[in-house]
Structure 1
């Protein structure tokens, strides 16, 4: 199987980027609570209840506003975020609109291609509500796990959002409120001295007669008393529909439910514009966007005896240009490429990507840190980026002998794995993303830091930046080759400091703050990342 173009790891090494702060939404001051307005009310409700609602407790702990999903659309003009409170917030780019004009005007302005990206709040809506499964005695959180944009149609925005169990298809459209202008004469009222008195007969009092007249309850027909001003009316104003203010309306078009026994961890749109997949721990289902009551199970890892279970699905993604190909990762650190043309049930993979273990390196934590938390296809489909707890790996789908590049993110944490296991930090699921041209990759870390690496051949770019209005540090760390896999094509690059307890710049990490979610603009060097309830945007 030879899929995709020749970009990414084989591209010419680009120049280093200087990242700058662009915008922030929802940043809190030190000590400020997320849900300030509802805190006192919720405290009273919790105090008066023996068994308080877990949703109230999450509100008090400031978890409702914490961003749990983030995604650019295909054009990069819209950005969507989802939070633990089940809300979806949309942002729209505005700096490009200010420079829209004729071609001559644009040529005369000679406006540069690279602009300072500026996004404004567009709208928000409640996507999911907390539920309770009475059959399983299971609470279903409203937290948004993933958001995926669908194709825009007739100026309307479409997107998919999902929590642990239910996927929803939303349409967001700008609607203009239409009003009908009044007539300058009402047929059931008398007119005196050319003035137009207000109606004293309410609509509830008016009754229709057989001849079409109106009556106020008496036996007389009011239309017989119709009179006009002397000389008649100069003009008769007919009703005219006028457009008033416009408003954004979000409407749930379809609900895809009752198809997953386990928590949904991924949804991905197909390039055919008609289907999408949803994945939980053991199964991947194929849906048609137009059909909400039926799905097809295409991958099933559930064994007959659950005691024989050895791995679970952690992430799934459709190929960006081939509608029959998808990839999914597992908790064992492997990525499987699936061709849906082979069979209806895709239990047998076309290709398997996994790195061979170094002899003698296996420990209690080996499988835990090898679990892949996120995978992303490059725009061309040639490469797959995967993120496990310690590293970022770039895979060429035409070469399954090993990763093309490996980027060390948390190598300095290896001596602290026992402590990370005790406080559950070792199970944190960090996302990853690629630039539109495939020359750079990025992922998050602790202390609200994110890291950007150059993945082109010969690149030494490695930048660590803090998600803040005033980033405290921006580190350029030289790359060092670590070892070869025995292939002249394959190279493994280690970047970053390996000193235990410190990051690349020698500063200690704060494990209570973490940057899990980030996304790269599809056409420009712009990154949006989420730190707690704050959305930060950077550009280069």
Structure 2
């Protein structure tokens, strides 16, 4: 029986955001991160204007549909007077903490400051009865002490409030690009280009530096940290990727400073394919553990790689994403697109992987057969409820190479819009529903 996810069983479900032309988009409205919570009942987006928007599952609908829940300003633009630098309000990452009570807790970060937000429902009460008013009519003033009464209160409205419970600041000299909450729900890590810090969620004025790759002389700098994530099961393990195309797994039980990694996942480069762009395109932009912690998914500019945690020498699978762009690397270097950081993610079943591309295309792969589905998060989805389609049999190792498809021809055409790109996405933890950030729109797709 064919897997519906690998045969184009995906349908456009919903879209939030302004449906105007890309030329009319305000920079502040561009979505910079998207994240489902651990239940999948809530979805958060952050944008370049420093806002966080939350969506709640609409239980009255049969399918997986969401409705607006609340919005709040998480970060404001700041100015670092010591370094004469403007600090953007752009939200780089949002991570949910597991829900312990009626309130939601989530971490959001810009380049310098991480905040822990508490989002909860609160009833607004107003005075409905007093010594001068019965609630309906004015009352004569009380003449004696025993006629005095306490004001009566009644609920006027229920609102959703967002309060910053903790602000974790002044711990990073460089821009924060990753945060990850530990499975113990007590600690989290934050990473910039050269350092990773470990925080206790309850302590905002101190953090512990667990990785520091900053050389004594900055002229000797050869690599930077690009992404980091805690292991989903073991609270002592985390990994971080680097611009030198390797992933290091660190164990906090071994030593306080985790500069000496426990494992290093790295594939030897083929000298025959080396070029001026090799270092740039081999830099890893994102890494994710599978939900069971057994596998690692990594994304570089041209490909996705699936690694087994027990095998460091080479990936189990390498999935080409941007082979059609190999001849355009000069142009992509000129327009800075070669530095785009595409995210990658596992499906809730750990059997599918997803990553984005240009022209608002994104691809979902079956991690076993490598069959893939190609979808486009585009305005045409407003007109047609069903978009995209399967790529026929893109299997590795076929005698005559992968079979062609109309999408491949379209991707290789000169008409690709490099301003439209799918960098950020999130996969529902328990269902086949995905949220895709396409410039200033949030698209939702579902599969049966």
TM-score, length basis structure 2: 0.91
Q: Is the 8 A contact 1:181 1:239 kept in 2?
A: yes
Q: Distance in 2 between matches of 1:93 and 1:501?
A: 35
Q: Is the 8 A contact 1:282 1:302 kept in 2?
A: yes
Larger Rg belongs to: 1
Q: Please point out which of 36, 43, 47 is paired with 1:79.
A: 43
Deviation, 1:307, is 1.1
Deviation, 1:506, is 6.1
Residue 4 (structure 1) aligns with: none
Q: Is the 8 A contact 1:475 1:505 kept in 2?
A: no
How much is the aligned-residue C-alpha RMSD, in angstroms? 2.8
Deviation, 1:240, is 4.8
- Inter-CA distance 348–31: structure 2 relative to 1 (3 Å threshold): closer
The alignment partner of 1:416 has SS state of helix
Deviation, 1:536, is 0.3
Q: Is the 8 A contact 1:14 1:439 kept in 2?
A: no
Please tell me whether residue 407 in structure 1 is matched to residue 319 in structure 2: yes
Residue 339 (structure 2) aligns with: 427
Q: Distance in 2 between matches of 1:308 and 1:500?
A: 44
Residue 395 (structure 2) aligns with: 480
Q: Distance in 2 between matches of 1:509 and 1:299?
A: 40
- Inter-CA distance 26–497: structure 2 relative to 1 (3 Å threshold): same
Q: Distance in 2 between matches of 1:260 and 1:83?
A: 21
Please tell me whether residue 254 in structure 1 is matched to residue 166 in structure 2: yes
Report 1:417-456 matches (<5 A): 417-456=329-368
Q: Distance in 1 between matches of 2:20 and 2:403?
A: 31
> What is the aligned residue count?
437
- Inter-CA distance 67–376: structure 2 relative to 1 (3 Å threshold): same
Q: Please point out which of 417, 427, 431 is paired with 1:510.
A: 417
Please tell me whether residue 351 in structure 1 is matched to residue 315 in structure 2: no
The alignment partner of 1:480 has SS state of coil
The alignment partner of 2:425 has SS state of strand
Q: Distance in 2 between matches of 1:329 and 1:497?
A: 33
Residue 20 (structure 1) aligns with: 11
Residue 524 (structure 1) aligns with: 431
Q: Is the 8 A contact 2:371 2:395 kept in 1?
A: no
Deviation, 1:507, is 7.8
Q: Is the 8 A contact 2:129 2:153 kept in 1?
A: no
Q: Distance in 2 between matches of 1:364 and 1:64?
A: 34
The alignment partner of 1:125 has SS state of strand
The alignment partner of 2:280 has SS state of helix
Residue 96 (structure 2) aligns with: 149
Residue 89 (structure 1) aligns with: 53
Q: Is the 8 A contact 2:34 2:94 kept in 1?
A: yes
Q: Distance in 2 between matches of 1:419 and 1:317?
A: 32
Q: Please point out which of 305, 314, 320 is paired with 2:232.
A: 320
Q: Distance in 1 between matches of 2:430 and 2:160?
A: 27
Deviation, 1:501, is 9.2
Q: Please point out which of 191, 194, 211 is paired with 1:282.
A: 194
Q: Is the 8 A contact 2:12 2:387 kept in 1?
A: no
- Inter-CA distance 321–165: structure 2 relative to 1 (3 Å threshold): same
- Inter-CA distance 32–123: structure 2 relative to 1 (3 Å threshold): farther
Deviation, 1:223, is 3.3
**Structure 1: which 5+ residue stretches go unaligned?**
1-11, 35-61, 100-114, 190-194, 201-213, 215-221, 228-235, 484-493
Q: Is the 8 A contact 2:281 2:338 kept in 1?
A: yes
Residue 305 (structure 1) aligns with: 217
- Inter-CA distance 433–501: structure 2 relative to 1 (3 Å threshold): closer
Deviations 1:210-267 (A, max 9, x none): xxxx9xxxxxxx539x99xxxxxxxx99865433321000000010000000000100
**Structure 2: which 5+ residue stretches go unaligned?**
none
- Inter-CA distance 482–506: structure 2 relative to 1 (3 Å threshold): farther
Residue 32 (structure 2) aligns with: 68
- Inter-CA distance 260–237: structure 2 relative to 1 (3 Å threshold): closer
Deviation, 1:481, is 2.5
Report 1:195-214 matches (<5 A): 197-198=138-139
Q: Distance in 2 between matches of 1:339 and 1:118?
A: 40
Q: Distance in 2 between matches of 1:538 and 1:402?
A: 33
Q: Which moved more, 1:410-419 or 1:463-472?
A: 463-472
Deviation, 1:475, is 3.5
Residue 300 (structure 2) aligns with: 388
The alignment partner of 1:352 has SS state of strand
- Inter-CA distance 308–503: structure 2 relative to 1 (3 Å threshold): farther
- Inter-CA distance 87–500: structure 2 relative to 1 (3 Å threshold): closer
Higher share in strand: 2
Q: Please point out which of 258, 266, 276 is paired with 1:364.
A: 276
Q: Distance in 1 between matches of 2:97 and 2:245?
A: 29
- Inter-CA distance 506–453: structure 2 relative to 1 (3 Å threshold): farther
- Inter-CA distance 275–479: structure 2 relative to 1 (3 Å threshold): same
Report 1:84-163 matches (<5 A): 84-94=48-58, 97-98=59-60, 116-163=63-110
- Inter-CA distance 330–284: structure 2 relative to 1 (3 Å threshold): same
Deviation, 1:351, is 0.6
Please tell me whether residue 536 in structure 1 is matched to residue 446 in structure 2: no
